[in-house]
Amino acid sequence: MFQEFALFPWKTVLGNVMYGPRQQGVRIPEAEAQSRALIEMVGLKGYENFYPKELSGGMKQRVALARTLAYHPEVLLMDEPFGALDAHTRTRLQNDLLNIWERDRKTVLFVTHSVDEAVFLSDKVVMMSKSPGRIRQVIDIDLPRPRRRNELLLDPRYQKYVVDIERMFDEVDETGSPS
């Protein structure tokens, strides 16, 4: 799942989500039932017959998430999927992703430039060097689950992780590598 939505503009929401199962040989009735369940799960029930041009950015991203999940991947690869969204929609989709993780327990590799987002969503934060991209540091995030943003923001452990990682980034910017 990417920053850009990469939806098929000629397909409806349902058609976009059904694409993966159909390519995998799933029969139409089963693919449709699975896709409708995913569309409902991401909060888009009632939008099955809408085209991407008729949707907001957040809605398009939810369609992209449902389409990704329709493939039943072992690992979800997400490259700044919420970066272009407004704060409210971003928070909603972060919560949706956490709910999906709670339900399916799939591995998620989530790329973000937001320290807050990384700490909120992750069990591990991996700091990369600028270029070439190499792992500089791995930080284990030991916060309780399930996570809810409004509770976590008040948790001193959460705040400490965010501040400590921000400081590590500052050190990287100043010296080229974390100390």
Q: Are 35 and 18 in contact, with CB atoms under 8 Å apart? A: yes
pLDDT at 4 over 70: no
DSSP letter at 138 equals E
pLDDT in tens, 132-160: 888 989 999 999 999 988 889 999 999 99
pLDDT in tens, 34-63: 999 999 988 899 999 999 999 998 899 889
Spatial CB neighbours of 179, under 8 Å, sequence gap ≥ 6 = 171
**The pLDDT value given to residue 179:** 43
Model confidence pTM above 0.75: yes
Q: CATH number of the domain at 1-111, out of 3.40.50.300, 3.10.180.10, 3.40.50.1820, 3.10.20.310?
A: 3.40.50.300
Domains of the chain, residue spans: 1-111, 113-179
What does DSSP say about strands 107-111 and 75-79: parallel, antiparallel, or unpaired?
parallel
